[in-house]
A = this chain, B = another copy of it.
């Protein structure tokens, strides 16, 4: 998928190092540690390219713009911190949601989001 620029490397590293879903703006700030004059347009361009390439996955949460996380991991959910607005991975999933829908509905998938205060904000 094209050239290996310093920028793309820094963007990839930002996601790998963060270990949680990032918004383009968050990714920009993290990646600027490596490439100080990185532009937001480049982040959008690369994030889209990395999604197309299957390296990133879109994380949609209620009431906020899209976040992105590295792809290829197991089924999981997310915790959304009300204090810092950060999103973290939650590895467990109770499952068994298909039975919840009214009869006649075909359940194909589900999303589960926990809200509260993350460890660093609880302090």
Contact = CB atoms under 8 A, between A and B. Distances in A.
Interface of A: 60-63, 66, 77, 79, 82, 88, 90, 92-94, 96-97, 100-119, 122
A70 to B, nearest CB: 18
Contacts of A63: 60, 66
A94 B119 CA distance: 25
Contacts of A93: 100
A115 B104 contact: no
Which of A77, A96, A108, A116 has the largest number of chain B CB atoms within 10 A?
Answer: A116
B105 A115 contact: no
Rank and list the top 4 A-B pairs by shortest CB-CB distance, nearest first. A104-B119, A60-B62, A60-B63, A108-B116
Query: Which of A90, A106, A108 counts the most chain B CB atoms within 10 A?
Result: A106
Contacts of A109: 114-116
